[in-house]
Structure 1
């Protein structure tokens, strides 16, 4: 059996979730052979999972957090590539206060600058879990971009922008392949863009969401041009990832690819699936958004390709049977359905293990 969960956001890392599921499963089926392979998309946990899979070394750097507080970022150096996780520089919980209109991605740019000093062939940036919606303007500023406004003061800092010069930022990364490992397929602007879809979870009210989207729209006009064909880059899937970090990386010539694909290729998931008779994956909230570049969907797709049954263990399940089957999942089980959401959050490891023991009664060979 293969256990390949993503993180349970805010409670368990992917590795902790895998260990809890394995421990609970063995309570009922001690003779089952369980292989644990934690997974991730481009969000929190991305760097750690890759370091474990690739045997890379960690290099720590200190960068600016979203509101300027110094925060540590771990770079994973492996086989000519440096991997880093944007959420470590601009994610949740890094600052004592929340100010979504001033939160900046400058720290991500500083981390990329540090990564470039290792002279890698490639830099891969995991995108997800951010509190920022600045279109990656802060990242560009940290890499040397200049403008007639402050690019490092969040979306509010873009007010009145008329000139941006990206030449210095592009020069810093000359000769290095840049990859954005995105956790969503959202574009930068509009109804399905960075501000309107993800603004509420970053603390934005309706007026701030509207304003941020308008400021980003004006930013696109300046850095790309006003003609529809010039602005097309902002419509590309993934440019809205991490509050528009995907857009900034695309401006620098990066390819945007699902973070799940990067991780699953690195850990050799297909080989693990082929050797298993059952695949168990999971995440904190299994819902319809799991289909949009999330790790659980990638694991289920890999299981379907090998005709292996796949089940999901989650903190909460908000997917109906039809949607579940469309995602390649046979059944999904929620900790909250057994003990309630409050208890599930209070002791997530124990209750996830208990759920796994219950599920093993049905699914263990």
Structure 2
């Protein structure tokens, strides 16, 4: 009767793999002989490739453009068989430029990773698009794959969503000829459209450092890019759920790459074989840095809790901070909850002593199990 530990990252203090390892060590210390299985979680954002590597995928590295022109990053693709998982955050993530660059951030590096996956001969490419720094509508990604976006003078448009309002033409004829024969999956838990009050610029722009005037500029640019794309493809994907993912990267994937959407957390839980691990498990421990209302919108720990509950496996929540009332936790099948803030001397200590605190909570869980 194993314990399945599946935690997402504790942002700023522990990766998902570290959090799982520290908690599992505490469980093992207090419950010798209790089988503990560690499965770091991610839902398509930062940490997706790392989680897949822990589940048996191989990593292939490539040097690509970072979120801003002139920046080079070493990014990894997760590969298993003919499938490649491209994590946008590896190349175009906000964590790479914490201050943000709302008008100039580009997905060009993500497109380079897609091309690298094609060079490996992969026939399915999963675009995991959480955690982006970008609001360029996926124009950078398409440019890296051979498309061109030009202004009225015929000059290539500079990178970034801040320039899209100046776009006069979009040419997709130069797209890598291998793209149509590849199954492209858009893995995202965001169902926002591209434009409007629930769209990419207005909802996610502030998180990426955009002020009110910049948000309106980005909105106008996305609208212009969408007009060109719709005229070019004959299909309007602006209102398609998920088009607003990763600053509109979802839109480019749907419209130009014929991507099919799939919930990111569901894809990850299947790839991590969580349904199989839960068969016969005594306990499932889920969690992340902050468990709040956003967690209820399909994030991986919440999805894992629901999956365990449906399998009649008790669920324990471990988080840095828990900002949901007990009824909401109970609706997910969570029967016990531990917050680092409840056991830390101060909020600062919860960040600085994450390893020790997770180990201590793990010991408490292990002791409860052995009793």
Q: TM (normalized to structure 2)?
A: 0.90
| Alignment partner, residue 101 of structure 1 | 103
2 CA distance for matches of 1:39 and 1:348?
17
SS in 2 for 1:301: helix
1 CA distance for matches of 2:370 and 2:158?
53
| Alignment partner, residue 87 of structure 1 | 89
Alignment of 1:169 with 2:175, yes or no, is yes
TM-superposed CA distance for 1:230, in Å, is 4.2
TM-superposed CA distance for 1:364, in Å, is 5.5
2 CA distance for matches of 1:9 and 1:64?
24
Which of the residues 19, 43, 51 maps onto 2:21? 19
| Alignment partner, residue 190 of structure 1 | 196
CA contact (8 A) 1:3 1:35 kept: yes
CA contact (8 A) 2:40 2:54 kept: no
| Alignment partner, residue 299 of structure 1 | 304
1 CA distance for matches of 2:333 and 2:198?
25
TM-superposed CA distance for 1:67, in Å, is 0.9
| Alignment partner, residue 292 of structure 2 | 287
Deviations 1:261-309 (A, max 9, x none): 2221112111111121211011111111112231112211211221112
**Mean alpha-carbon deviation: is it higher for 134-143 or for 338-347?**
338-347
Which of the residues 214, 223, 226 maps onto 2:229? 223
2 CA distance for matches of 1:169 and 1:323?
47
Alignment of 1:266 with 2:271, yes or no, is yes
CA contact (8 A) 2:165 2:220 kept: no
| Alignment partner, residue 156 of structure 1 | 162
SS in 2 for 1:159: helix
TM-superposed CA distance for 1:51, in Å, is 2.3
Report the number of matched residues. Answer: 361
CA contact (8 A) 1:66 1:132 kept: yes
TM-superposed CA distance for 1:106, in Å, is 0.5
Could you tell me which runs of 5 or more consecutive residues in structure 1 were left unpaired when the two chains were aligned.
none
| Alignment partner, residue 132 of structure 1 | 134
2 CA distance for matches of 1:235 and 1:322?
34
Alignment of 1:356 with 2:362, yes or no, is yes
Which of the residues 231, 254, 262 maps onto 2:259? 254
2 CA distance for matches of 1:5 and 1:46?
12
TM-superposed CA distance for 1:8, in Å, is 1.7
Cα 1:22–1:96 shift into 2, 3 Å? closer
2 CA distance for matches of 1:125 and 1:364?
42
Q: Which runs of 4+ in 1 moved over 6 A?
A: none
CA contact (8 A) 1:105 1:152 kept: no
TM-superposed CA distance for 1:359, in Å, is 4.5
TM-superposed CA distance for 1:44, in Å, is 1.2
| Alignment partner, residue 113 of structure 2 | 111
SS in 1 for 2:143: helix
Alignment of 1:234 with 2:228, yes or no, is no
1 CA distance for matches of 2:202 and 2:278?
37
Q: TM (normalized to structure 1)?
A: 0.92
Could you tell me which runs of 5 or more consecutive residues in structure 2 were left unpaired when the two chains were aligned.
none
2 CA distance for matches of 1:89 and 1:152?
18
Counting only pairs closer than 5 Å after superposition, residues 44-59 of structure 1 correspond to structure 2 as 44-53=46-55, 55-59=56-60
SS in 2 for 1:174: helix
Cα 1:363–1:247 shift into 2, 3 Å? farther
Deviations 1:51-90 (A, max 9, x none): 221x333221111111120111112221111122110101
1 CA distance for matches of 2:271 and 2:95?
28
Cα 1:327–1:165 shift into 2, 3 Å? farther
2 CA distance for matches of 1:312 and 1:67?
38
| Alignment partner, residue 43 of structure 1 | 45
1 CA distance for matches of 2:325 and 2:269?
26
SS in 1 for 2:261: strand
**Mean alpha-carbon deviation: is it higher for 89-98 or for 100-109?**
89-98
Which of the residues 175, 190, 209 maps onto 2:215? 209
